[in-house]
Amino acid sequence: MASRKVLVLLLTVFSLHLVKAKTRRSEGSQPNVLFILSDDHGYRDVGYHGSLFATPVIDKLAADGVKLENYYVQPICSPTRSVLMSGRYQIRYGLQHAVLDPMAPSCLPTDEVTLAQKIKEAGYSTHMIGKWHLGFYEEACLPTNRGFDTFLGLLLGGGYHFSHSFPTPKFYDLHRNVEAALEYNGIYSTYVFTNEAIDIINKQDEDKPFFMYLAYQAPHAPLEVPEHYKDPYRSTFEDEDRLNYAAMVSCVDEGIGNVTAALKAKGIYNNTVIIFSSDNGGSVRDGGNNWPLRGSKLSMFEGGMRALGFVHSPLLSDDVKGTVSKELYHVSDWFPTFVEGIAGGNTDGTKPLDGFNQWESIRDGTDSSRTELLHNIDPLWTVAGGRDWVVKESPFNVSINAALRQGDWKIVTGDTGFWGWYAPPDTGIDTINGTTTNEQVTWLYNITADPLEMNDLSDEHPDILMTMLEKLQEYYLNSVPVYYPDTQPLHALPCYNGNNCIWGPWTPK
């Protein structure tokens, strides 16, 4: 009898040892990576930046992680996504002008090795959910041909959130892998994408890490949302756009909470890194706001590019949890950070990356590897003339829309976007108009001391201005020509090309 008790005790101890060993292997394995991208989400428009609408999930995740308060994306949709997927500046592959038009034969060049391809090589399953906006005119451009195992989302840059169509209900755009997902017609896009993320998590093989790119379509216009999300804010916002926008953000916040809960229920939250980012500044024309930063979506001022961002994970050092990082980071950094830093893979076979592996910096609170950031140079976006301030013998054509950050300094040239400070209507503060581009087309700021870009120092520091103009010219000379082909609506529009009124690959002529 005693020997049986001893045997049972030994088996119990052995079983506990196996459980602990399995737990140790799980916690020491490659972490899952969940990258969440919101669409046209303004810098102001989260609770922890002072918005009047609630984002409790985002606020909590950010508060328990590392808030990235010197983190940049591109000033408009598809450029941010192309830089994320390639780890390279737009000037390297010709997409430095505007967004990809669905009726033009263009996409992220297929010879660019993608983040999804490299992290898949490192042993990850790869899933893309939501807005693609990196071109689809040929099948080689589609997400499942760029490294993703699965895709559920829209190919265009926007569309109606219930009918999943654009520009009219006639043209449908929601796909699962390469086929139209017609069964989601009438279901709100944020619900569709949240439920897909949860479903993938629930079915995930626990012995295989995953990379999930969850690119919500909200709060991008058109401003649509289920009515009950508006109820808490009807007495707060008189402006209908702001009301709809607040409700859309609240729905996204709820969705992120549901996805996080799924990670915990699956038992994989402790070995997952969650990254949240906006794709550009909020559009002040469509309910968004970036106060107190200057500018809006499209602009090279901070309101167009300084992004909402945080990293949340139990894998972060205890020293950085609950902190704010002022280190300089850029959306291009996620490529090597995910592949090399988190997945333990390599970036062999890629073209030279502009991003840096920032995992140690974020995880442990060490210095960023980045001291310089080219925001963009767009030679197709120019302004004429200007006052007689122009530096004589300037090495760079300052009529070109461009911006560069070096250390504390930032230069902007040729910006014709939104250049004012746009206070949200709930503050009671009047909009402050900046200097119009008819009077000025170059600006120099100490962005560390003056993040609101209120004090142009181009006259006071001509030496710094000249140095940065020279650097812009160096980047320009090493850029490739812009590739922005004409549209071909008769071949691309889905009701005219044999695609049964469903957006998809088409044959250019």
Residue-wise DSSP of 74-136: -SSHHHHHHHHHHSS-GGGTT--SS---TTSS--S-TTSPPHHHHHHHTT-EEEEEEE--S--
Instruction: Determine which one of 77, 107, 141, 251 is catalytic.
Output: 77
∠ CA 132-258-125 to the nearest 5 degrees? 50
Residue-wise DSSP of 253-308: HHHHHHHHHHHHHHT-GGGEEEEEEESS---GGGT---TTSS--TT-SSHHHHBPP
Instruction: Determine which one of 41, 49, 133, 375 is catalytic.
Output: 133
The length of the chain in residues reads: 509
Pairing of strands 442-446, 409-413: antiparallel
* Predicted pLDDT of residue 433: 72
* Predicted pLDDT of residue 382: 86
Q: Is the peptide bond before 105 cis (omega within 30 degrees of 0)?
A: no
| Residue spans of the chain under pLDDT 70 | 1-28, 384-392, 416, 434-439
507 token code pair = 């044959």
Per-residue model confidence as pLDDT tens digits over 41-88: 999 999 999 999 999 999 999 999 999 999 999 999 999 999 999 999
* Predicted pLDDT of residue 263: 98
* Predicted pLDDT of residue 23: 36
DSSP at 407: T
* Predicted pLDDT of residue 385: 54
Pairing of strands 272-278, 309-312: antiparallel
* Predicted pLDDT of residue 77: 95
287 token code pair = 């309910």
30-370 topology per CATH: Alkaline Phosphatase, subunit A (3.40.720)
How many other CB atoms sit within 10 Å of the CB of residue 91?
A: 22
Domain 373-477 architecture = 2-Layer Sandwich (3.30)
133 is catalytic: yes
* C-alpha distances out from residue 500 to 155, 166, 177, 385, 497, Å: 16, 14, 17, 48, 8
77 is catalytic: yes
- The domain locations on the chain are 30-370, 373-477
* Predicted pLDDT of residue 444: 96
* Predicted pLDDT of residue 387: 43
How many other CB atoms sit within 10 Å of the CB of residue 334?
A: 24
* Predicted pLDDT of residue 436: 52
